Amino acid sequence: MPAFTLEDLKNYTGCEIMKQNQTTFGDVSTDTRSIRPGMIFLAIKGENFDGHNFLDKAVANGAAGVILADKSKVTKIQNENITILYVKDTLKAYLDIAGGWRSRFSLPVLAITGSNGKTTTKDLTAAILAERYKVLKTQKNFNSEIGMALTLLSLRPEHEVAVIEMGMRGLGQIKTLAGIAKPDIGIVLNVGNTHIELLGSQENIAKAKGELVEAIKADGLVILNADNKYTAAMAVKTKARIVTFGIDNKADITAENIRMLDSNKTVFTCKEAGQSVELTIPLMGKHNVYDALAAVAAGRAMHIDWSMIKHGLANFTSSGMRFEILRLKDYTIINDAYNASPLSTKAAIENLTILPAKRRIFVFGDMKELGAIAQQAHEEVGRFCAAHKIDILITFGALADCAAIAAKCSGIRFVQSCKSHEEIAMLLKTILKKGDAVLFKGSHSMQMEKIIELLEK
């Protein structure tokens, strides 16, 4: 378990000591429920909760110290034996402490960013590296500042490599995360439209993702997607060695002869420096091959041999709701409801067309955070459905309704806009026929998976 002295905390965060009692502490936590005797409670103000309102709970659970950013709340701490530290920004302090802890280890750290596929690539990379090393990886989708601090504070002496997912919600964020994690290897998967509302343009998104490339030192490694013009252009941002992966363009690591098997598997021939290896991933579609190629590039850089790569990829288990194929009665249900962006929605539609099915039905919920391009992006999805011969389009949400109109104008005969999960479930129950395949996709907040639950009842 991490252990910090008062001196460490002062050095890492520059905190002001408001009250000094205990001078040695265990781990740091932002959640009073995980506070154990001797730990430090760090009060973070989030969207829904303010940690400063739980100081008494932290103390009751045995916290030896608290770090806070609101001096007025000190009176809430009744226990005389607590060390109280003040910082201006507790989130920054959390990252600084995590960075301090990370600096005590000399293992290689891999960081992964991109608009789509970060979690999948993180898990694929960890699966490959676990064939040879003891791996620490970001749990679930914990890719924010808090998530990364949590991950780094989980570093233990037995770990031999760390795989970190880095999310991005604005310029400067990846720079901050990378400044703390100090990655040796940086992977940028792609630059799409996700978060365009926050960043204004795709160029700005590329700039923000490019911060990871800029953070890799000259003796490190940068892994870039050669098929995405924005990531390909990032090569100039670093002095580090660059390895590229791609399918359509020339790259160091490529995939050919990509075949989808209906049992939710994709097989491809992976080529690197004259070597050719047949690889299988338990995932559907070309977009996941990109994620696998990035993971292979990381594996090769970490000296994993091909037989281990093959084994690691084959045994990878995906996090749920990412093109998860389920059989329900006589129908194929595809749960891709984890999230949706224009890039990942088109990838999912392409995959749907490959699946063997009598009719292909797409149940589409709004794609959020697209700002000014929202309407146009949804209309494009509608036309994309028509061009890919989707038989039935059912939409949910005001934006997805724009896709419905565009799909109708482009020739899809059966298009229906619905107002609730229940209405969609009812509609599906009346129209579904043996052999149909139904894809569910929309932004996280649209909770498209709820419709599947209703169907299962």
Instruction: Enumerate the known binding-site residues.
Output: 114-120
Question: Which one of Mg ion, ligand ATP, none interacts with residue 300, CB within 5 to 8 A by kind?
Answer: none
Question: Which one of ligand ATP, Mg ion, none interacts with residue 316, CB within 5 to 8 A by kind?
Answer: none
Q: Per CB under 5 A, which of residues 10..39 are in contact with Mg ion? A: none
Question: Which one of Mg ion, ligand ATP, none interacts with residue 246, CB within 5 to 8 A by kind?
Answer: none
Which residues are CB-contacts of 384 (< 8 A; sequence separation ≥ 6)?
345, 346, 349
Stretch that binds ligand ATP, among 8-16, 103-111, 339-347, 357-365 (CB under 6 A): 339-347
Q: In what order do the strands lie in the sheet with 331-335?
A: 324-328, 331-335, 437-441, 360-365, 392-396, 414-418
Site string for ligand ATP, 157-176 (x = CB under 6 A): ----------x---------
Angle between helices 6-13 and 90-102 (to 10 degrees): 110
Q: Per CB under 6 A, which of residues 115..134 are in contact with ligand ATP? A: 116-120
Q: Per CB under 6 A, which of residues 198..217 are in contact with ligand ATP? A: none
SS in 3 state form for 387-451? HCCCCEEEEECHHHHHHHHHHHHCCCCEEEEECCHHHHHHHHHHHCCCCCEEEEECCHHHCCHHH
72 or 317: CB nearest Mg ion: 317
Say how far apart CA 333 and CA 439 lie, in whole Å.
6
Q: Which parts are annotated binding residues for ATP?
A: 114-120
Which residues are CB-contacts of 428 (< 8 A; sequence separation ≥ 6)?
361, 363, 394, 438, 451, 455
Q: Per CB under 5 A, which of residues 117..136 are in contact with Mg ion? A: 118-119
Q: Which of 230, 338, 364, 440 binds ligand ATP (CB under 6 A)?
A: 338
Q: In what order do the strands lie in the sheet with 28-29?
A: 16-19, 83-86, 65-68, 40-42, 28-29
Q: Does 335 bind ligand ATP (CB under 6 A)?
A: no
CB of 291 to Mg ion, least distance (A): 11
Residue nearest to ligand ATP as judged by C-beta position:
117
Say how far apart CA 147 and CA 149 lie, in whole Å.
6
Say how far apart CA 105 and CA 55 lie, in whole Å.
31
Q: Does 344 bind ligand ATP (CB under 6 A)?
A: yes
Question: Which one of ligand ATP, Mg ion, none interacts with residue 290, CB within 5 to 8 A by kind?
Answer: ligand ATP
Q: Does 39 bind ligand ATP (CB under 6 A)?
A: no
Q: Does 54 bind ligand ATP (CB under 6 A)?
A: no
The site for ligand ATP (CB under 6 A) is made up of: 116-120, 141, 143, 167, 189-190, 287-288, 290-291, 322-323, 336, 338-339, 343-344, 347
